[in-house]
Amino acid sequence: MTEESLEINEADLLSPSPEATVVDRWTLSSAPEESRAAAMAWWPVARIGLKLVIKRWIFWVFIALGLINFLFFSAMIYFLAGLAAQLKGQRFGEGPLEFARNFIFTGTGESFRDFITSQNTVVMLLLAISGAVLVGNDFRFRSLTFYLSKPLERWQYFLGKLVATSLLVSMLTLLPCLALFIEYGLFGDTFDYFFESRRILFGILAYGLLVSVGMSILLLGVAALLQRTISIVMVWGLIFIFLPIVTEVIHEAAGGSDYWKLLDFWSLLQWCSNAFFGIESGLYSGQPWCPIAALAAWLGAALWAFWSKTRAVEVVS
């Protein structure tokens, strides 16, 4: 992917508006009826960020990869529903059905947790490629200067980028998982599954939002700090590929001490998912504040990197 293909296009930033006039390359003087409330000033930033990513073919490649996994889980739910209907009332039907559920899809918290976790690899690759488009280019091509020179606060710019990135992640994790939850409940004999699985629904929402927002904050910090696509991809790979391997090696060498896993962002997300779904985990069972503090340190460092880089940008009034 060349640097020219990542440049921000004027057409990306200016949406069609027959009654608006161009003030400069980055801004439209809105018609009176199009004026926005100050609280929604972040939305154009989010919309532009989404448009810049969605228009690139690589985005649709990752969406297709995530969709393959979703279709597999969906097909397994359909298969189990059909198998249950065929074996219903048969003398030895429950045994094969329970055996199939143990290896395919159980409809429990572990199943939905595993689905979101299996999507994390695709999410990691998508964010690594999208980091420069969403954030890095704003620093490299000085468009952040024009953003902040308008009635737009730094926190509004951050919120817009965070919403755009979180929506991209949610397309691959939270939304498909909710669709699987609804599908599994609809294929049941009654709708009791929805009422009996409130904890599972909470786990899906909580874990999906944590993955979407947490990985987005981390990406914003890394992208603001490094800016270039190659640098972002390398550091992103160090965090999500190399670091888990290193921590696992040190974990084994240190006699199984769990504290080394606090350096692994993947491990922290996995611990949080178990807590949300009510799944028993041997990690940090007596000291839950340890992974919470470690996750807060990761996100705090990313926020500090993003904020320090934006404060260093000179604003042109």
* pLDDT bracket for residue 213 (50, 70, 90): very high
Q: How far apart are CA 161 and CA 43, in angstroms?
A: 9
- pTM value? 0.80
Phi-psi category of 75—alpha, beta or left, where left has phi over 0 and alpha has psi -120 to 50?
alpha
Per-residue pLDDT, 11: 44
Per-residue pLDDT, 172: 93
Is position 101 within any domain?
A: no
Is position 291 within any domain?
A: yes
Is position 252 within any domain?
A: yes
Which parts of the chain fold into alpha helices (H)?
Answer: 10-13, 43-54, 57-87, 94-103, 109-131, 137-140, 143-149, 154-170, 174-186, 192-196, 198-226, 229-237, 243-253, 265-277, 289-311
For 95-117, the pLDDT digits (tens) are 555 555 555 567 788 889 989 98
Asked which of 9-23, 85-99, 239-253 is least confident by mean pLDDT, the reply is 9-23
Is position 257 within any domain?
A: yes
Is position 2 within any domain?
A: no
Per-residue pLDDT, 85: 66
Per-residue pLDDT, 70: 92
Q: Is the dihedral of CA 116, 59, 61, 127 positive or negative?
A: negative
Is position 13 within any domain?
A: no
Is position 24 within any domain?
A: no
Per-residue pLDDT, 248: 84
Structural domains counted in the chain? 1
Per-residue pLDDT, 103: 53
Q: Is 312 helix (H, G, I), strand (E, B) or coil?
A: coil
Taking the CA atoms of residue 151, residue 12, residue 159 and residue 172 in that order, the dihedral angle to the nearest 10 degrees is 170
Whether residue 180 is predicted with pLDDT greater than 80 in this model: the reply is yes
| Range of the structural domain that residue 227 is part of | 108-175+200-311
Whether residue 37 is predicted with pLDDT greater than 80 in this model: the reply is no
Q: How far apart are CA 158 and CA 234, in angstroms?
A: 23
Do residues 102 and 198 make contact, with C-beta atoms less than 8 angstroms apart? Answer: no
Amino acid identity, position 279 = I
Is position 37 within any domain?
A: no
Whether residue 72 is predicted with pLDDT greater than 80 in this model: the reply is yes
Q: Which residue has the higher pLDDT, 8 or 139?
A: 139
Q: Is 179 helix (H, G, I), strand (E, B) or coil?
A: helix
* pLDDT bracket for residue 26 (50, 70, 90): very low
